[in-house]
Amino acid sequence: MKLRKTYTPYLFLVPALIFMGIFLFYPIVDVFRLSFTNYNMIQEASYVGNQNYQDLLNDPLFWKTLKNSFIYLIGVVPLLVILPIFIAILVNRKLKGIKWFRAAYYIPVVTSMVVVGIMWKWLYRGNGLLNYLLQTIGLINEPISWLTSTDYALYSVMAVTIWKGLGYYMVIYLAGLQSIPQDLYEVAQIDGANWWQKHLHITIPLLKPSILLVTILSSIAAMKVFTEVYVMTKGGPINSSKTLVFYIYEKAFENLNLGYAAAMGFVLFVIIFILSFINFKVLGQE
Amino acid sequence: MSNEFNNILKKILLYFLLTIIALITIGPFLWLLSTALKSGGENIFSYPPSLIPKNPTLINFKKVWNAIAIGRFFLNSTFVALATIAINIFVSALAAYPLARMEFKFKNIIFYGILGTMMVPFQILMISIYIISVKSGMTDSYTGLILPVAVNAFGIFLLRQAFITIPIDIEEAAIIDGCNSFQIWYKVLLPLIKPSIATLAIFTFMMSWSRFMWPLIVISDPQYYTLPVGISYLSGLFSSNWRLIASGSLISIIPIIILFLFLQRYFIKGAMAGAIKG
List of residues 6+ apart from A182 with CB closer than 8 A: none
Query: Looking at the structure, do residues B153 and B235 belong to the same domain, yes or no?
Result: yes
Q: Which amino acid is at A207?
A: L
Last residue of a domain, one of B30, B57, B84: B57
In B, which residues are within 8 Å of A224 by CB distance? 121, 123
Cα of B205 to nearest chain A Cα, Å: 10
Per-window interface: B 88-147 vs A, CB < 8 A: 90-92, 94-95, 97-99, 102, 104, 107, 110, 113-114, 117, 119-121, 123-132, 134, 147
Query: What are the phi and psi torsion angles at A160 (to 5°)?
Result: -70, -40
Q: Which of A52, A110, A272 to mutate to test the interface with B (most CBs of B within 10 A)?
A: A110
Residues of chain A with pLDDT under 70: 1-4, 283-286
**Total number of domains constituting chain B:** 2
Query: Looking at the structure, do residues B96 and B152 belong to the same domain, yes or no?
Result: yes
Q: Which of B199, B201, B173 is nearest to B187 (CA)?
A: B173
Per-window interface: B 177-236 vs A, CB < 8 A: 181, 185, 206, 209-210, 212-213, 216-217, 227-229, 231-232, 235
Here the ipTM equals 0.90
Query: Looking at the structure, do residues B147 and B269 belong to the same domain, yes or no?
Result: yes
Q: Which of B127, B132, B235, B261 to mutate to test the interface with A (most CBs of A within 10 A)?
A: B127
The answer to whether the beta carbons of residues A165 and B271 sit under 8 Å apart is no
Q: Which of A145, A276, A25 is nearest to B112 (CA)?
A: A25
Shortest CB distance from B110 goes to which of A13, A127, A265? A13
Query: Looking at the structure, do residues B52 and B101 belong to the same domain, yes or no?
Result: no
Shortest CB distance from A119 goes to which of B32, B132, B276? B32
Last residue of a domain, one of B57, B82, B103: B57
Query: What are the phi and psi torsion angles at A156 (to 5°)?
Result: -65, -40
**Residues B49, A132: C-beta atoms closer than 8 Å:** yes
**Residues B253, A252: C-beta atoms closer than 8 Å:** no
Secondary structure letter of residue B48 according to DSSP:
S
Secondary structure letter of residue A37 according to DSSP:
B
Query: Looking at the structure, do residues B27 and B136 belong to the same domain, yes or no?
Result: no
Q: What does the alpha-carbon distance between residue B249 and residue A56 come to, in Å, rounded to a whole number?
A: 38
Task: Say whether A131 sits in a helix, a strand or coil.
Answer: helix
Query: Looking at the structure, do residues B50 and B92 belong to the same domain, yes or no?
Result: no
Query: Looking at the structure, do residues B95 and B230 belong to the same domain, yes or no?
Result: yes
Query: Looking at residue A40, what is its pLDDT?
Result: 87
Q: What does the alpha-carbon distance between residue B224 and residue B218 come to, in Å, rounded to a whole number?
A: 10
- Strand (E) or helix (H) holding A223: helix A208-223
Cα of B104 to nearest chain A Cα, Å: 7
Going from N- to C-terminal start, the domains of chain A cover 49-283
Query: Looking at residue A78, what is its pLDDT?
Result: 97
Going residue by residue through chain B (278 aa), what tens digit of pLDDT does each one get?
578 888 899 899 999 999 999 999 999 999 999 999 998 888 888 888 888 888 888 989 999 898 888 999 999 999 999 999 999 999 999 999 999 988 888 999 999 999 888 888 899 999 999 999 999 999 999 999 999 999 999 999 999 999 999 988 888 888 888 888 889 999 889 999 999 999 999 999 999 999 999 999 999 999 999 999 999 999 888 878 899 999 999 999 998 999 999 998 888 888 887 776 54
* Chain A touched by B268 (CB under 8 Å): yes
In B, which residues are within 8 Å of A266 by CB distance? 124
DSSP secondary structure string for all residues of B65-130: HHHS-HHHHHHHHHHHHHHHHHHHHHHHHHHHHHHHH---TTHHHHHHHHHHGGGS-HHHHHHHHH
Query: Looking at the structure, do residues B188 and B77 belong to the same domain, yes or no?
Result: yes
Give me the CATH code for the A49-283 domain, please. Answer: 1.10.3720.10
Cis peptide before A9 (omega within 30 of 0): no
What's the domain range around B19? 2-57
Cα of B99 to nearest chain A Cα, Å: 8
Query: Looking at the structure, do residues B30 and B110 belong to the same domain, yes or no?
Result: no
